[in-house]
Amino acid sequence: MVKKVSIVGASGYTGGELLRWTLIHPEMEVCQITSERFAGQQAHKLNPNLRGFTKLEFTSVKNLSTDVDAVFLCTPHQKAAPYVSQFWEIGAKIIDLSADFRIHDKEVYAKYYGEHQNPGLLEKAVYGIPELHREEIKKAKLVACGGCLATSIILGLAPLVKNKLIRTDGIIADSKIGSSANGAAFDISTHHPERSGTVRSYKPHGHRHTAEIEQELSAISGGPVSVGMTPHAIEMVRGIMSTIHASLSGKTADVDVWKAYRSFYAGSPFVRLVKDQNTLYRYPEPKPVIGSNFADIGFELDQEKNRIIVMSTIDNLVKGSGGQAIQCFNLMFGLDEKTGLWQPGFHPM
Ligand SMILES: NC(=O)c1ccc[n+]([C@@H]2O[C@H](COP(=O)([O-])OP(=O)(O)OC[C@H]3O[C@@H](n4cnc5c(N)ncnc54)[C@H](OP(=O)(O)O)[C@@H]3O)[C@@H](O)[C@H]2O)c1
């Protein structure tokens, strides 16, 4: 039976992207989309790509209906928790795209985000990267979708950590990210004259996604994993490219790494391994995944330096948020996880 859903924070970039996927999903009916700033306006006035697909108007959150099977929360962090409490009470499934419930430990959460408003629910939330937590997501009431940078880095490293192919200290992730990651609200850093042509390091260490990256990889490893992450804002609207450097833990051949990735991602349709010498596209790059829910991952071994270089790329608005949220919804409602999501990106673009 078709499930009734609403989107809180639908006027933002993740909300708009989520709306695009929900409108073409065969098992979902979007009943409500919220925005304070655009209340009363039709969705396509803000999302011109959706003209002809919906007549929905934005509604104020003051009129938020709880008569739904599931709610997607696309609010800034520290704003989702009150809605989670509200929908938890009535028993609707909750898919939160913000960071409010990604971190299990409230002290770690406080270090990066400030005091938590509903710490009691932190341990009830399942971290929303299906490739890591598929079975738990199927039973979850509350899923906290993985952050965009975190998703690209975790997916690149998880099989290596699981198979103990790399040392778990001194891992470095260098990420490039597009401007839509900042959201739709005006910010001088994404103003065109400031962003155009930019390659800007904006948080060389201590980025808030470090908390979830280390939480998830440490759980897989069974011991602490330390990852230094440095994101760079570049001139791209969508997309993340993470280049990750780690020391090998022992003698390792290409075949060992292939085996680790293939077995970890067997049954994960949205992860593609890219390592091909006979094409221009030898390693993953953002353009071929834009508009799709794929995570493309590749690697190269540097035997001379005893290290591995992993390249991992996603569309921050799809596998990094809206698409991943739909993938979690599919699992939570017993659907094939590809439902409504199985489409390639664009080429050329
Ligand atoms: N952008 C990305 O690539 C990305 C990727 C993964 C995760 N995320 C996370 O997803 C969340 C949304 O990101 P975004 O980029 O879509 O941000 P955004 O473009 O700034 O949109 C934020 C949305 O939240 C609404 N909102 C703000 N305060 C609210 C409140 N108190 N109650 C209800 N709605 C509220 C805004 O609506 P009105 O102001 O119109 O009411 C707007 O629709 C953030 O937590 C972000 O960290 C973003």
Q: Which residue type, as a one-letter code, is found at position 128?
A: G
| Contact between residue 93 and residue 145 where contact means Cβ atoms under 8 Å apart | no
Count the residues in the chain. Answer: 349
pLDDT at 1: 87
For 275, phi then psi, to 5°, come to: -160, 100
CATH 3.30.565.10 at 149-314, yes or no: no
pLDDT bin (cut points 50, 70, 90) of residue 349 is confident
Q: For the chain, which residues make up each domain, given as ranges?
A: 3-124, 149-314
Enzyme catalytic residues: 148
Relative to the CA of 9, which ligand 1 atom is closest? Answer: 43
Q: What is the pLDDT of residue 190?
A: 87
Which residue, among 218, 108, 207, has the nearest Cα to 169 in the 3D structure? 218
**Which residue's CA is the nearest one to ligand 1's atom 38?**
35
Centre of ligand 1 to C-alpha 225, Å, is: 30
- Is pLDDT at 5 greater than 90 in this prediction? yes
Rounded to 5 degrees, what angle do the CA atoms 47, 287, 193 make? 65
What dotted CATH number matches 3-124? 3.40.50.720
pLDDT surpasses 90 at 208: yes
Ligand 1 in reach of 38 Cβ (< 6 A): yes
Q: How confident is the model at residue 64 (pLDDT cuts 50, 70, 90)?
A: very high
Residue 290 CA to ligand 1 centre (angstroms): 20
Residue with tokens 């022992």: 250
CA distance 114 to 70: 27
Task: Give the span between the Cα atoms of 31 and 263, in whole angstroms.
Answer: 40
d(CA 276, CA 58): 46
Angstrom distance (rounded) from CA 316 to CA 149: 8
Structure confidence at residue 92 (pLDDT): 96
Query: Does the global pTM surpass 0.85?
Result: yes
Measured in Å, residue 232 CA sits from the centre of ligand 1 at 21
Mean pLDDT of the chain: 97
